[in-house]
């Protein structure tokens, strides 16, 4: 009996070894073609899925690498200095090499020198009221004198020398005023309207506007174009500079007051003096100190005579 069992087991083992079908639980089972195909398909699908996912992961990895490289390039550019010396900075807007290796605004005149300019509040400009060395000029009394600077525009004014402009003449700089008396370039108004900048006399120590500066009888603390307000300047109270100039020049007006001073502004009067055969421009007034020192105010008619 034992020999039969042994022989049977050996036969079964031999069959399993020689047949293509697997041996399961002591017997040989056949695997159908469908099962094999399913397994193969499943394996293929799994392989495809893994391959696909792996491909996406690889692509994502490449994108992250590219982004990282781009970030590195940005940081690298930021870390690269623009300059190592001032000469490396090629524009007047940023002419100086800063301690961080970046071109920066000027801090001294030397930063702007190679551009033919001076430094003012971090900007390279042609000139300032006190820095006119870059302006052209001319010989005066054997000495070279630079032309004045337009204080607001910070540009040189060709042909205008310091101290060359008379009272009540248009101006762009304090320096150009003072032809005969100390004066500053000051904004003026009349009847609430801006009249522009003119050279106006300055009341010196011991002087008053109404006492020594007819007809500029009204003291004003209005800052000049260069920001100076002390001592005060003396302004016109009842007229404008254009009307005063017409009076000083003896302008004829043909009995039309609108020809005196500014058009459509009540700053001048056209009158005929008894001693003159023509009509001339004069100034409106209420008191003598509103007229030139050589004249008086005809208070009855409200104008300066002569």
**pLDDT exceeds cutoff 60 at 34:** no
Residues 156-203 pLDDT 10s: 999 999 999 999 999 999 999 999 999 999 999 999 999 999 999 999
Same domain, 210 and 188: yes
Q: Kindly state whether residue 167 falls inside one of the protein's structural domains.
A: no
Same domain, 248 and 279: yes
Same domain, 246 and 291: yes
Q: Kindly state whether residue 206 falls inside one of the protein's structural domains.
A: yes
**pLDDT exceeds cutoff 90 at 3:** no
Instruction: Note the helical H segments in the chain.
Output: 2-18, 33-79, 109-112, 209-212, 241-248
Q: Kindly state whether residue 143 falls inside one of the protein's structural domains.
A: no
Residues 250-293 pLDDT 10s: 999 998 999 999 999 999 999 998 777 899 999 999 999 999 98
Same domain, 264 and 211: no
Task: State the Cα angle at 228 between 112 and 226, rounded to 5°.
Answer: 35
Same domain, 246 and 228: no
pTM of the model: 0.71
145 to each of 140, 161, 197, 206, 217, how far by Cα in Å? Answer: 6, 7, 24, 32, 33
Structure tokens at 139: 């010989």
Task: State the Cα angle at 128 between 127 and 130, rounded to 5°.
Answer: 120
Listed residues 235, 253, 288: the one ending a domain? 235
Q: Kindly state whether residue 282 falls inside one of the protein's structural domains.
A: yes
Same domain, 226 and 245: no
pLDDT confidence tier of residue 77, bands split at 50, 70 and 90: low
Domain that holds residue 252: 241-305
Q: Find where tokens 């337009």 sit.
A: 150
Question: How many domains are there within the chain?
Answer: 3
**pLDDT exceeds cutoff 90 at 4:** no
């Amino acid at each position: 009996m034992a020999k039969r069992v042994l022989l049977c087991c050996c036969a079964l083992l031999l069959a399993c070894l020689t047949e293509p079908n697997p041996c399961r639980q002591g017997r040989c089972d056949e695997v159908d073609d469908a099962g094999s195909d399913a397994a193969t398909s499943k394996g293929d699908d799994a392989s495809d899925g893994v391959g696909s996912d792996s491909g996406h992961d690889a692509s994502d990895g490449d994108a992250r690498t590219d982004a990282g490289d781009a970030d590195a390039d940005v940081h690298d550019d930021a870390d690269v200095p623009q300059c190592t010396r001032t000469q490396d900075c090629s524009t007047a807007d940023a002419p100086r090499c800063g301690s961080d290796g970046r071109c920066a605004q000027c801090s001294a005149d030397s930063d702007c020198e190679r551009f033919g300019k001076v430094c003012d509040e971090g900007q390279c400009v042609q000139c300032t009221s006190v820095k006119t060395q870059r302006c052209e000029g001319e010989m005066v009394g054997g000495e070279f004198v630079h032309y004045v600077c337009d204080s607001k525009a910070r540009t040189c004014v060709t042909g205008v020398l310091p101290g060359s402009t008379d009272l009540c003449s248009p101006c762009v700089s304090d320096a150009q005023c003072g032809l005969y008396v100390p004066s500053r370039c000051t904004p003026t108004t009349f009847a609430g309207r801006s009249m522009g900048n003119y050279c106006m006399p300055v009341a010196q120590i011991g002087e008053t506007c109404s006492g020594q500066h007819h007809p500029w009888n009204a003291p004003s603390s209005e800052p000049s174009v260069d920001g100076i307000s002390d001592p005060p300047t003396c302004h016109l109270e009842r007229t404008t500079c254009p009307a005063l100039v017409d009076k000083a020049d003896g302008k004829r007006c043909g009995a039309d007051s609108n020809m005196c001073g500014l058009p459509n502004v009540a700053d001048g009067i056209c009158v005929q003096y008894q001693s003159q055969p023509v009509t001339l421009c004069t100034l409106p007034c209420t008191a003598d100190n509103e007229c030139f020192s050589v004249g008086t105010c005809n208070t009855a008619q409200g104008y300066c005579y002569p």
